[in-house]
Structure 1
Amino acid sequence: MDFPSSDMLRAVVLGVIQGLTEFLPISSSAHLAIFPKFFGWDDPGAAYTAVIQIGTEVAVVLYFWRDIWTIGSGWVRGVFSSSARDEPEWRRGWFIIVGSAPIVLVGLALENLIDREFRNLWVIGTTLVVLGIVLGIAERVGRKTAPIDDLTWPHAVLFGLAQAAAVVPGVSRSGATISMGLFLGYEREAATRYAFLLAIPAVVGAGVYKLKDIPGGENAYGTMPTVVGTLVSFAVGLAVIHWLLRYVSTKSYMPFVLYRIGLGGLVLVLLGAGVIGAATTVS
């Protein structure tokens, strides 16, 4: 399919893709690697992918600002007051801190692999299919009855370990944490909301860390297209959050399971047929 090659147009299109896919359990990083191949564009690179996700995380902050303020202020009070440590907000703050640690450690340890080898489309197609199957199993076997208030320390650690798997494009940060939440028996909406909140420190931190690479060779488009893509992803992402939380309150994740398996299977077939190449790293 032949699209105009303007960096600004590509930034808008990829911003829309990022906004649509960041919160759905289908992997935004996979889509940002796959769709440029379909359109005949350069891979935007890991730096672009990390920074543009800041837009969608700002959407999360705006949407959940009351939750964030309640948890954050409660945790700060607990630092200075022993009585405040009996409040649930103190514990929830620590849950998010502890749950964020694994992806930070894994991300720093595997930075070179994340930026290059993990962006191979054979890896991405495979993880789309495998984690799609995992999400499907979680949807089938999970009790989906526990509220997020039932979260425990062991479960917080397991949520964090699941999120850490998302350093591999195709896994999906929300997909991995939601799957873990369903396996642990949490309600769909509870698991989804917690996945959004847990992602904020990791995604914003990764985006800020990768800002240094935007003007250089690790970003195929440049500074201004990255800014435009980030703004577009924010606007689209805000709408998607609102829709998804309403959707999962009454419906299952199975459509996303089928989509993941279908897209991943298509990518693997096209790779095997030689229609598209596996390498996506920006040179």
Structure 2
Amino acid sequence: MDWIQASIIALIQGITEFLPISSSAHLLFPSLLLGWPDQGLSFDVAVHLGSLLAVIIYLRSDLIAMVLGLYQCQQERRLNPQATLALMLIVATLPAMFFGLILKDWIEVNARMLWVVAVTTLVFGLLLGFADWRSRRQHQMSAMNWRHTIYIGLAQALALLPGTSRSGITMTAALMLGYTREAAARFSFLMSIPIILAASSLISFELATTKVVIAWVPMLIAFVVSFLSAWLCIFLFMRIISRMGMWPFVAYRIVLGLGLCWLILPTLN
């Protein structure tokens, strides 16, 4: 993979990782439409770490508060709101990790097909629009409880299907539970940290057990591009939803889903 391909794929990853439009769907396009080779495990680690660093920096105040809350909890032997939120994020991650480990091979073989991506892009895009339309949008993130955490965590597990969008389905679940758009997005971004960290750790372990020559220059380019684009997307997304809601992304998903259906039609003849 040359530096141009690395930059483009990292840019796609960075832009789509936190937007409710599915990074997995968009990352299929370079290979399906342009015939580019699979980026490999080392590249996956680089773009995931870039995205992870971006969301950590953006949410640093929340993360520092949770770390201090956990320390205070350990000292006082009682839970506080910040420590509770940290524990909720761990619990919310468990369903996706559990089903991901069990279904990983099956999904790779049976679900990474264009028609699956087209269906999930349309269905879950419309569901996001419905949730944004019907939501009471009255709860802030401080209202998060264990029941809501489990619901949103189970919703995140659905994102194992390519085209669903991890951020999209978690925001959809939070909106349906009555959270504001900003609270839904912020909790979704916080949820991404343990899941991206877990995925990166798993890929790194697989990489360490294989004898692969690592192309460090494309990896460094991918890390930087993914980091910058992801941070900018989070920054802009929070401002867009406060003014326009989720509808620009719903409309985009509908157009994208219909476009994918159009690509599939010639194969049905």
Normalising by structure 2, we get a TM-score of 0.91
Q: Partners in 2 of 1:265 and 1:225 — Cα distance?
A: 33
Q: Partners in 1 of 2:119 and 2:45 — Cα distance?
A: 21
Cα 1:185–1:139 change in 2 (3 A) is same
Secondary structure at the aligned position of 2:267 is classed as coil
Give the structure 1 partner of residue 31 of structure 2. Answer: 36
Q: Partners in 1 of 2:100 and 2:42 — Cα distance?
A: 13
Tell me if structure 1 keeps the 8 A contact 2:44–2:203: no
Q: 2:9 aligns with which of 14, 17, 21?
A: 14
Give the structure 2 partner of residue 278 of structure 1. Answer: none
Cα 1:222–1:130 change in 2 (3 A) is farther
> What is the alpha-carbon root mean square deviation over aligned residues?
2.5
Q: Partners in 1 of 2:136 and 2:184 — Cα distance?
A: 12
Q: Partners in 2 of 1:195 and 1:228 — Cα distance?
A: 27
Give the structure 1 partner of residue 61 of structure 2. Answer: 66
Paired residue total: 268
Identity %: 34
Shift of 1:183: 0.4
Cα 1:76–1:119 change in 2 (3 A) is farther
Q: Does 1:117 align with 2:110?
A: yes
Give the structure 2 partner of residue 266 of structure 1. Answer: 259
Cα 1:100–1:19 change in 2 (3 A) is same
Q: Does 1:79 align with 2:70?
A: no
Give the structure 2 partner of residue 171 of structure 1. Answer: 164
Q: Partners in 2 of 1:45 and 1:123 — Cα distance?
A: 23
Shift of 1:18: 1.0
Cα 1:213–1:271 change in 2 (3 A) is farther
- Which amino acid in structure 2 is aligned with residue 77 of structure 1? Q
Per-residue CA deviations over 1:155-212 (Å, capped at 9, x if unaligned) read 0111111111111221111101000011011000110011000110011110121124
Q: Does 1:56 align with 2:25?
A: no
Shift of 1:50: 6.1
Cα 1:105–1:46 change in 2 (3 A) is farther
Give the structure 2 partner of residue 279 of structure 1. Answer: none
Q: Partners in 1 of 2:97 and 2:183 — Cα distance?
A: 23
Cα 1:47–1:114 change in 2 (3 A) is farther
Shift of 1:143: 0.9
Q: Does 1:90 align with 2:74?
A: no
Tell me if structure 1 keeps the 8 A contact 2:22–2:165: yes
Tell me if structure 2 keeps the 8 A contact 1:17–1:32: yes
Which segments of 5 or more consecutive residues in structure 1 lack a partner in the other structure?
1-5, 276-283
Per-residue CA deviations over 1:28-87 (Å, capped at 9, x if unaligned) read 11101124322232343687556522211210001111110111221233134224x1x2
Tell me if structure 2 keeps the 8 A contact 1:131–1:171: yes
Tell me if structure 2 keeps the 8 A contact 1:33–1:44: no
Give the structure 2 partner of residue 228 of structure 1. Answer: 221
Q: Partners in 1 of 2:193 and 2:254 — Cα distance?
A: 27
Q: Partners in 1 of 2:124 and 2:146 — Cα distance?
A: 25
Q: Does 1:243 align with 2:236?
A: yes
Secondary structure at the aligned position of 1:119 is classed as coil
Shift of 1:223: 5.6
Q: Does 1:196 align with 2:197?
A: no
Give the structure 1 partner of residue 142 of structure 2. Answer: 149
Tell me if structure 2 keeps the 8 A contact 1:37–1:43: no
Shift of 1:110: 1.2
Which stretch has the larger CA shift, 254-263 or 32-41?
32-41
Q: Partners in 1 of 2:140 and 2:113 — Cα distance?
A: 38
Which segments of 5 or more consecutive residues in structure 2 lack a partner in the other structure?
none
